[in-house]
A and B are shown apart, each in its own frame.
Chain A
Amino acid sequence: MKNVLILGATSDIAQAIAKKYAAEGWSLTLAALEPGLLGPIASDLEIRGDATVQTLEFDALDFSSHRKFYESIETKPDAAICVFGYMGDQDKARTDFDEVARTIGVNFTGAVSILNIVAEDFEKRGSGAIAGVSSVAGDRGRQSNYTYGSAKAGFTAYLSGLRNRLAKSGVHVMTVKPGFVRTKMTESLELPAALTAEPVQVADVVFQGLEKKRNTVYTLWMWRWVMLVIRHIPEFIFKKMKL
C-alpha cells in the first residue's frame, strides 16, 4: 500500500486531498499544528474508506524540529504534499514585522525546510512525488496581498528549482496554484462563482496531476489565462490599478 504524507492536514484543501487518496487506496500520514483537530478527521477517513491513518504534530515555524519530525515517521511516504499556508493580514504587515516574518516563515521558509528533508530521502530512494500548494498570488505582486504573494512567489521558484534538481533522480515535483477556493480562509468573502473551486476539485487536480507527472497545475483552467493576462499588463498601467 502506498503512503502519502500530508503537511498541514487540517486545512479544507488538505482534508479533501486526504479523502481522495484514501479513496484511491493509499494509507495516510497526516501532520498538522493542531493534533486535536486530527482526531475526528482520522476517524472520518477510517469510516469512509477503511483507510489506515497516522496522525502527527507538525509546526511549520519550528524549523529545527523538522528533521526529527520526518525521522519519527514509521512508514516513509511515497508522496508528500505540502498544503499548509498562512494568508496573513496585508494591512498589519505594513507596520508589524512579526506578521511579515510569520507569513514568510510559514509559506516559504517552513515549506522549504521540510521539503528539503523530504527531497533528501526521496532522492536517496530514487523515487517519490512532491506537490507544493503555492498560489496564483505569487504570479505578480499586488497591493492587496503582496507579502503573502512574495512568499508564495518564492515558494513557486523553489519548487521549480527542486523539480529541476530531482528530475534526474526519478522524483517528480509539482506546483499547485489553486486560485480561489471555497475554504475557511475565504468563507466570509463574496467570491466570483466562475473562478471559485471547491476543495474537492483541488484534490482531484492534485491527485491526477501527480499521477500524470504534471509540472504546474491550476484548479480551474481559466486561471492559467487570467494569470497570463495579469502577468502581461505593462507595469506603468499595472501600478495604477486597484488589485
Chain B
Amino acid sequence: MRKMSDWGNYPVIDAEVFGFETPEELKTRLGSLDKVIAYGNGRSYGDASLQENMLLTRRFNKLLSFDETTGELCCQAGVMLSEILEVFVPRGWFLPVTPGTKLITVGGAIAADVHGKNHHKEGAFGQHIISMDVMRNDGSIVTCSPLENADFFNLTVGGMGLAGVILHATFRLHPIETAYIREETIRAANLAEIMDCFEASDDWTYSVAWIDCLAKGDAMGRSIMMRGEHARAAELVQHFRKGAPLNLKPGLKLGVPVTFPNFALNKLTMNAFNFAYYNKCRPGTHTRVCDYNSFFYPLDAIANWNRIYGTRGFTQYQFVIPKAAGREGMGTILSRITESGLGSFLAVLKLFGEQQSFMSFPMAGYTLALDFPISLKALELFKELDAMVADFGGRLYLAKDSRMDAEMFSKTYPNADEFKQAITMLNEGAPKFESLQSKRIGITE
C-alpha cells in the first residue's frame, strides 16, 4: 500500500501499485486484478489516474526507434516529454505539442490529449500520433491509428486510460534550428484588450496569456500576453551561444523543500504577487530571446511547487467556452471569480483553434485555467461556475478535474453517452479500466 495522489494532492488515497517492464508482465498483472487504471508521472491534477489498483508506467520507458530524416520517434508510453527534449533538442528536434509541464509521460499526453500554446496551429497531442499499440483488458494488443482501428484510436486519444493501457506510440518531432524562442510580451489593461490581442496573434506559432484573476472593475482581466516563435540560428546574438545554438547550459534548479502551512497563501499574498507580476511588465510590446525551458516550462524549474498550497491540496479549474460566447461569457465568468476573491496567482488564458475529436477537451474558443486551494467555499463556487460554463456551451478539462459531477460531464461532452457505451463494452470481462474520476462522472460504475 502506498499513499498516492496526483499533482493537486487532492484527493490522496491508499493504493496498491504495480509497475511493469514488458507487455507480457503487464498482461499477467491484468489477469490478476478486477479493476485498475494506469498512472504515469502523476501530473494530472485530480483523480483521473487514481484507483485502489494502479499500474505505474514510468519503468516502461524505452526509446525504441528514431528516424533521423523524418523525425519519427517510436517509444514506450512511460517515457517523459522531458526525456525526449533532453535527447532530441540538441539534435535539432522539438515536440509537436507540449503542455506547460514537460514532466508528463507520452501515455498521459495521449490519454488526456494534452494541448499547448500552439493549439491554434497544431491541434492537441493526439493529432500527431501516427500509430500506437494499446493493451486491452484481456491482454490482447490493438495497433491503432487514424486509419487502422480508427474507432478504438478515438476512444484512446483523450479517453483517460479507460479503453486500455497505451504501450507504444509513434509520432513525428518537429525540426528546430535553435533551442531558443523569440518571445514577444504585451501588456493588456483588461479583458477586451487581451482578447483583441489573441485574435491579432493568430499567425504566431505559440500564444498564451497570464491573467490577473483578482483585479476588479476596469482592470478586470488585465493580462500579459506571451507569444513566440522558434528562434532561427541567424536570430541568436553572440551571447546566446551562437556556436552551439541547440545546447543549453544546465539551468538553476530550485525546489519547494517542505509543504507550506495552509495559511501561507491568502488574499494578501496572492494580491501582492499578482500586482508585482503585472507591473513588472512595462506597458507596450517587448521582445526577447529565451531558452525553451523558460518559455514553455517556467514552473518545472521549481520542483514540487504544488507544496505551496499546503496539505489541503489544490485544484485547477480549467474550462473552455466557444469563441462565439467568448467575450460575453468570459466576462461573466471572470467577474464571478474576481468577486469571490478565491482565485490564486496562476491563471492562464488561451484561444484554441478548431478541434473535432471524439472525446478531447479543446474546441474553438477561449480556455481559462485557474488554481484554487481546496476549500468548501471554492467547491461551492465551482458549482456555480459549472452552470455558467455549461450555459455558454463549454466544458471542463478532465485532466485537471477532481470534482465535477456526472450530470455536468454528460451535459457538456457531446459524445459522453457513446463513449460510456463503448467503454462499458470494452470493459466486459476482467479487469475493468476505471479511475475515481470515471466512476464519479458516471463513465464506469
Give the docked Cα–Cα distance between A190 and B87 (Å): 32
B30 CB to closest chain A CB (Å) equals: 17
Residues of B close to A10: CB separation below 8 A: 21
Whether B2 and A188, one on each chain, are in contact in the complex, defined by CB atoms closer than 8 angstroms, is yes
- Asked whether, in the complex, the Cβ of A43 is within 8 Å of the Cβ of B63, the reply is yes
The B-contacting residues of A in range 186-220, CB under 8 angstroms, are 187-190
B22, closest chain A residue (CB): A37
Q: Which residues of B contact A43 (CB under 8 A)?
A: 62-65
Q: How far is the CA of A52 from the CA of B217 in the complex (A)?
A: 64
Would you call B310 an interface residue if the criterion is a C-beta within 8 Å of the partner chain's C-beta atoms? no
Which residue from B18, B21, B56, B63 sits with its C-beta under 8 Å from A48?
B63
Interface size on A, residues (CB 8 A): 15
Expressed in whole angstroms, the minimum distance between the Cβ of A60 and any Cβ of chain B is 19
| Secondary structure call for the A interface | helix
A232 at interface, CB cutoff 8 A:
no
Instruction: Give the distance in Å from the alpha carbon of A48 to the alpha carbon of B83 in the complex.
Output: 9
Q: How far, in angstroms, from A187 to B61 measured CA to CA in the complex?
A: 15
A137 to chain B, nearest CB (A): 21
Whole-angstrom distance between the Cβ of B414 and the nearest chain A Cβ? 39
Given contacts A187-B17, A188-B16, contact A40 B62 (CB under 8 A): yes
A41-B62, A190-B1, A190-B3 known; A48 and B19 CB under 8 Å? Answer: no
In chain B, positions 47-93 with a C-beta closer than 8 Å to chain A are 56, 59, 61-66, 76, 83, 87
Contact A47 B1 (CB under 8 A): no
Tell me whether A124 is interfacial, beta carbon within 8 Å. no
Distance of B339 from chain A, by nearest CB (Å): 39
Q: 8 Å CB contacts to B: which residues of A3-35?
A: 10, 12
Known: A47-B87, A184-B19. A40 touches B2 (CB 8 A): no
Q: Is the CB of B18 within 8 A of A40?
A: no
Residue of A nearest to B20 (CB): A184
A-B contact count (CB 8 A): 42
- Judging by beta carbons under 8 Å apart, are A37 and B2 in contact? no
Question: Contacts A37-B22, A43-B65: A48 and B16 contacting too (C-beta < 8 A)?
Answer: no
Return the contact of A44 from the options B1, B19, B62 (Cβ within 8 A). B62
Which residues 26-60 of B have a CB within 8 angstroms of A? 56, 59
Q: B2 to chain A: which residues have CB within 8 Å? A: 188-190
Known: A47-B65, A48-B63, A184-B59. A40 touches B16 (CB 8 A): no
Q: Is the CB of A44 within 8 A of B64?
A: yes
Which residues in A have their C-beta under 8 angstroms from that of B63? 43-44, 47-48
Cα distance A188–B15 in the bound complex, in angstroms: 9
Q: How far is the CB of B82 from chain A (nearest CB, A)?
A: 12
A2 to chain B, nearest CB (A): 22
With a cutoff of 8 Å between Cβ atoms, the chain A residues found around residue B64 in the complex are 40, 43-44, 47
Closest to A187 in B: B19
- Compute how far the CA of A10 lies from the CA of B59 in the bound complex, rounded to whole angstroms: 11
Residues on the B chain within 8 Å of A48, using CB: 63, 83, 87
A199 — nearest CB in chain B belongs to which residue?
B59
Assess whether B76 is in contact with A40, with CB atoms less than 8 Å apart: yes
Contacts of A190 in B (CB 8 A): 1-3
Which of B16, B21, B64: most chain A Cβ within 10 A? B21
- Find residues 107-159 in chain A having any chain B CB closer than 8 Å to their own CB: none
- Closest partner residue, chain A, to B86 (CB atom): A48
| Distance between Cα atoms of A190 and B16 in the complex (Å) | 11
Q: A187 to B87, alpha carbons, bound, how many Å?
A: 26
Interface readout for A67-107 with B: 1 if CB under 8 Å, 0 if not? 00000000000000000000000000000000000000000
Contact B16 A37 (CB under 8 A): no
Complex: A10 Cα to B87 Cα, angstroms: 21
Separation of A189 and B59 alpha carbons in the complex (Å):
16
List the A residue with the shortest CB-CB distance to B4: A190
Query: Complex Cα distance A197/B318, Å?
Result: 34
Q: A43-B62, A190-B3 are contacts. A37–B21 as well, Cβ < 8 Å? A: yes
- What residue of chain A has the Cβ atom nearest to residue B1's Cβ? A190
User: B62 to chain A: which residues have CB within 8 Å?
Assistant: 40-41, 43-44
Residues of B within 8 A of A187 (CB): 17-19, 56, 59
Residues of A within 8 A of B87 (CB): 47-48
**A40 cross-chain contacts in B, Cβ below 8 A:** 62, 64, 76
* Residues in chain A near residue B66, CB distance under 8 A: 47
What residue of chain B has the Cβ atom nearest to residue A41's Cβ? B62
Q: A41 to B19: give the CA distance in the assembly, Å.
A: 16
Which B2-24 residues sit within 8 Å CB-CB of chain A? 2-3, 16-19, 21-22
Residues of A within 8 Å of B18, CB to CB, are 187-188
Tell me how far the C-beta of B124 lies from the nearest C-beta in chain A, rounded to whole angstroms.
25
* Complex: chain A residue closest to B91, CB-CB: A50
Separation of A47 and B62 alpha carbons in the complex (Å): 10
Alpha-carbon distance A48/B17, docked complex (angstroms): 28
Q: How far is the CB of B422 from chain A (nearest CB, A)?
A: 31
* Interfacial chain B residues near A189, Cβ < 8 Å: 2
Interface members, chain B 366-401 (any A CB < 8 Å): none
Q: How far is the CA of A113 from the CA of B36 in the complex (A)?
A: 43
What 18 new A-B contacts, CB under 8 Å, besides A41-B62, A188-B17? A12-B59, A37-B21, A40-B62, A43-B63, A43-B65, A44-B61, A44-B64, A47-B65, A47-B87, A48-B63, A48-B83, A48-B87, A184-B19, A184-B21, A187-B56, A188-B16, A188-B18, A190-B3
- What would 17 A/B residue contacts be, using CB atoms closer than 8 Å? A10-B21, A36-B22, A40-B62, A40-B76, A43-B63, A44-B62, A47-B64, A48-B83, A48-B87, A184-B59, A187-B17, A187-B18, A188-B2, A188-B17, A189-B2, A190-B2, A190-B3
Closest 8 CB pairs of A and B: A44-B62, A40-B62, A47-B63, A44-B63, A187-B19, A48-B87, A47-B66, A190-B2
